[in-house]
Structure 1
């Protein structure tokens, strides 16, 4: 496809699994959670029930580790018929604390990309999740210096992007979003008239998957973040 970024003045970056590793730690926690409860149900059932609980609670807790931990606790109580031992509950809480305190692992060539693009473009972070956790990760990452603005959104739908761009006085035709999620970082951006680049991560949360009916290939897909530099002078 033909790519023209000549009008771009502002570039937005997703954070989790675009700048640094995130989903991997959720999958690891899910594996450990299933092991803690394997006396009550099969792993497949535990995984399914946890996901259902996350979806039920999403409107209450939002995205992020804290909501995930609360959903694990609630799932453990339901799956065990309220018989799960106190020691197991403590281990579930420790899973969440370990996720929050985990060192930030930058993805390949992130600093090089930001260093190059920040010299010519206004860069911003647009991410979902828990505000405190995302601020903590950004500080640990050492990337703050490259960004003019950081926004932690409750969700990434068309209206969220439109309201933010209006607030920051950014023209949609001058904005480019880069992220790993088609559902959150690409499709809603394209629907409001901006451009997007998809850089897939090897692991995708089930909630972020899109159906064939939703898929739109009118965007640039790259194997790694540094490949985007080929499209800028």
Structure 2
């Protein structure tokens, strides 16, 4: 049975605009600063462990990332990390918070075209102020009928979003680059899940694709989304 989609929700970071690349650049800077104390691979593993450990306290975003870098620097130097290194890490985080937005190819055209016939939502995790800043700088703000900045993306969170927007889950679609956050939870909530891989995805967001799920799709880029939706609407 075909489904007429009413609502299309988009992830923000690395779906609409670049994000992970700036984290990778800062992590390289972090490794350079700590090169006298530990190997890069070991440092990367320690930082990832700190990020996993701290998600429940700091949530997602740049500020939590910076705090995890500082915590890792203290650990790998046996509490002897110079204050100058801590200052550099804080400065790196501030640079990230000021970094201009770079939309991915075809994003504005695609979102604008779909907004003509569908309710369009933004559903993103992260720090409230930073996500609001990025949305404002993106030039896409007026295209969205609703913006949801959440601390986690779970089936229950998606179900609540769909309910607030008066849309049945089976008439909603979530589009994003994270299998763990943008695809699996909305599928469990009864919606469609569309995966658009990005060149870089945070290790914590990796998960196995539900290849046999009837409401799962994968696309090479966002520009292919309108054609997919037309097919589903037949």
Q: TM class, shorter-chain normalised?
A: over 0.9
Of the three residues 191, 210, 215, the one matched with 1:216 is 210
SS in 2 for 1:223: coil
TM-score where L is the length of structure 1: 0.94
Alpha-carbon distance in structure 2 between the residues aligned to 1:232 and 1:58: 34
Q: Paired residue for 2:66? A: 69
Q: How does 1:67-146 map to 2 (within 5 A)?
A: 67-146=64-143
Alpha-carbon distance in structure 2 between the residues aligned to 1:120 and 1:163: 23
Spell out structure 1 runs of 4+ moving beyond 2 A: none
* 1:142-176 superposed Cα distances (whole Å, 9 cap, x missing partner): 00010011011110111111122222222101101
Alpha-carbon distance in structure 1 between the residues aligned to 2:130 and 2:92: 15
SS in 2 for 1:116: helix
After TM superposition, give the deviation of residue 204 of structure 1 in Å.
1.1
TM-score where L is the length of structure 2: 0.94
SS in 1 for 2:129: helix
The runs of 5 or more residues in structure 2 that have no matched partner are none
The runs of 5 or more residues in structure 1 that have no matched partner are none
2:173 aligned with 1:176: yes
May I ask how many residue pairs the two structures share in their alignment?
Answer: 227
After TM superposition, give the deviation of residue 232 of structure 1 in Å.
3.7
